[in-house]
Amino acid sequence: MSQYKIWECQVCAWIYDEAKGCPAEGLASGTRWEDIPNDWVCPECGVAKSDFEMIAISDAIPASSIVKNPVTATNEVYEYSIWECQVCAWIYDESLGWPADGIAPGTKWQDIPADWVCPECGVEKSDFEMLETKRVQVTTEHAASSVSTVEVAVSAESELNAFDPSQAPIVIIGSGLAAYNLVKEIRKTELNTAIYLYTIDDGSFYSKPLLSTGFAKNKTAAELASQSAEHMAEQYKVQIHIFSQVTAVDTTNKSITVGQNGSQAYSKLVFATGASCIQPPLTGNGLQHVYSVNNLLDYAKFRTIAKHKKKILIIGAGLIGSEYANDLLQAGYQIDVVDPMPSVLTSLLPQQASLSVENALRKAGANFHFGTVVKQIEQHQSGIIATLENNTQIQADLVLSAIGVRPNISLAKAANIRVERGIVTDKSLQTSVTDVYAIGDCAQVENHVLFYILPLMAQVRALAKTLAGEKTLVSYPAMPVMVKTTLFPVVVNPPARQSDGSLVAGTWVIEQQSERGIKAVYRQGEQVLGFALTGDQVSAKVQLEKLCPTIMN
C-alpha cells in the first residue's frame, strides 16, 4: 500500500489528491506532487503550484491501478487528504479526484502538476492548505465507495496557547482575501499573538474573483461564501468584529477608533481595505437601476433584482466588464456593452487578440457599442433607457457599472499616512509610518497597484514573516492574469508600463492567429517582455511565462 498526499489551493480551496490524479489535466492517478511540472497551475483559480499546501497524508491505491489491475474484491480502508483553496475555499478530495480537469479519483496532491490551478478561482497549488485526513472504505476493484471516519488534521489553528494580555494585538482593517489570507499565513507559525480583525460587513470568507462567475454557475451569495466569520474566528483564533467601521487611526498612540467612540490599541496595524468601484458620471431619473458588484452583498443585491429580468446593459468592456458579459450571457441574459475604447480588454491586449475575444462574445449574443459612453439613464416603465454620447439609445431592465476600481485610501490619508494611487508601502509592505502596513487592492508597493490574486498572495506570505519578526521583502515574478471569459479564454502577462502610462519600448508580434485563438508576444528584440493568449493558444502560457522578466525583484 502506497502513501499519498492531499494538497489544497490556499486561494480557492481546490483539492488535489495524489491517489486520484487529474485526468483532465493529463495527470494520471497516483501522480505525485513533486512529479507535477512546476509551471502547472490550479485548474480552478489559476495560481501556481507554490500556492498549494499539503493538508493530509493517506494510504491508498490509485484509481487507475485499481482499474488496470483488478484483483479479488476485498474491502479495505485507505487514508486520503483533503485540500482547501485559501482564496475561494474550493475543496479537493484525493479520494474523489477532479475528473473535469483530468484528475482521476485517488490522485495524490503531490502528483498534480505544479502549473495546475484552482478550477474555481484560478490560483496556484501553493494557495491550498491541507484540511483533514479521511479514511475511506474501498472495494479494490472500484473507486472509493464510502467514508467511514474523518479525522481533522492537526494544524496551527487547532490549539493555541493563551495570548499574552500585556501585548497589544495585531489589528487588521478589512475582511477580504488579503485580510483573511494574512491571518492564515500568520497562524502557520505564530500561535501566541492576538489578532483583531475589523470589518464593515458580516465577515464571510469568499473569493472575490468568483463574483464574476456566479450567474453562469447559478450560485447564490450564500453559496459563494465558503465560511462564516464565526467559523473563521474559531478556526484561526482571531477576534473578528463584524459590522464595525474603523473611523480613525492614531499612529502616535498606536490605536484605532471604532464607530463613534470605541478605541483599540495595536502593536502592528495592517490596512487591507481593498478598493471600491469607480462610478461613472451619469445623469437622469433612472439611476436607481444602476448597480455595481464589488463584494458579496453587492452580488446578492444584483442577483436578487436580476432574477426575473432579461436585458442588462454593462458599462465597461475591460476585465471586469468582459467577465460579467461572459457570465451573464451564459446565464441566458441579453447583453449590451458600452465602452469608449475600440474593443474589449483594450488596456491588456493588442488589437488582434482583443478582436478575437470580442468576436466570441458577439457570437454568444453580446451587442457592443464602442467609441462612446453612457451619458443619461432615464426611467422607462419597469426598466431604463440609456442615452449614449453618440445619441444611440438602449433599452434595458438593469445597468451594471463595471468600469474599474480605485483603492480605498481615505482612512490612511486622514491619518497622515502617505498615499498616492494607493497606500504607499516599501517592499516590506510597511507604510510611511512604523508598524503600519498595507496589503491587497489598497496597497501601492514600489509604485505597483495590482488588483490581482497572485500579487496579494505574495504580499501576505512576506508580511506574515515580517510580523513574526523576520523582515521579508515581497517580490513579484511574472504573474500572468487569467481573464474569466470562459467562452473564449484569455491569459495575459502585460508588458511593463513607463511613468507616463505608455508601454515600455517593444512591439507586439502575432505568432499564431486563427478563428480559434491568438498568440501575441511583446518583444524588445529577442527579449520577451509580455504576452497575450486567447482561445486555443492559452496553453502557451507555461512556456512564455518562463521567458518574461520579473515585475519586482
Per-residue pLDDT, 1:
53
CB 44 within 8 A of CB 120: yes
Whether residues 162 and 235 fall in one domain: yes
Structure-model confidence comparison of residues 283 and 17, the more confident one: 283
Nearby residues of 468 by Cβ (< 8 Å), 6 or more positions away? 186, 189, 190
Whether residues 131 and 230 fall in one domain: no
Residue 427 forms part of a structural domain: yes
Whether residues 396 and 423 fall in one domain: no
In tens, the pLDDT along 188-218 reads 988 889 999 999 999 999 999 999 999 999 9
Per-residue pLDDT, 251:
98
Whether residues 120 and 246 fall in one domain: no
In tens, the pLDDT along 471-498 reads 999 999 999 999 999 999 999 999 998 8
> Average pLDDT, stretch 233-262?
95
| pTM for this entry | 0.78
Whether residues 265 and 312 fall in one domain: no
139 three-class SS: strand
Whether residues 161 and 272 fall in one domain: yes
Cα 271–Cα 277–Cα 281 angle in degrees, nearest 5: 135
Whether residues 36 and 55 fall in one domain: yes
Structural domain harbouring 195: 156-278+404-476
Per-residue pLDDT, 93:
85
Give me the torsion for CA of 240, 242, 244, 245, rounded to 10°: 90
Residue 333 forms part of a structural domain: yes
Per-residue pLDDT, 133:
63
Whether residues 41 and 172 fall in one domain: no
Question: In this structure, what CATH number is given to the domain that contains residue 384?
Answer: 3.50.50.60
Whether residues 31 and 138 fall in one domain: yes
Whether residues 443 and 522 fall in one domain: no
Specify the number of domains making up the chain. Answer: 4
Whether residues 9 and 129 fall in one domain: yes
> Average pLDDT, stretch 51-77?
54
Q: What is the DSSP string of 325-352?
A: HHHHHHTT-EEEEEESSSSTTTTTS-HH
- Mean pLDDT lowest for which of 65-74, 335-344, 476-485? 65-74
Name residue, grid cell 464595525.
Answer: 244
Average pLDDT, the chain: 87
Whether residues 35 and 128 fall in one domain: yes
Residue 481 forms part of a structural domain: no
The band of 155, judged by pLDDT with boundaries at 50, 70 and 90, is very low
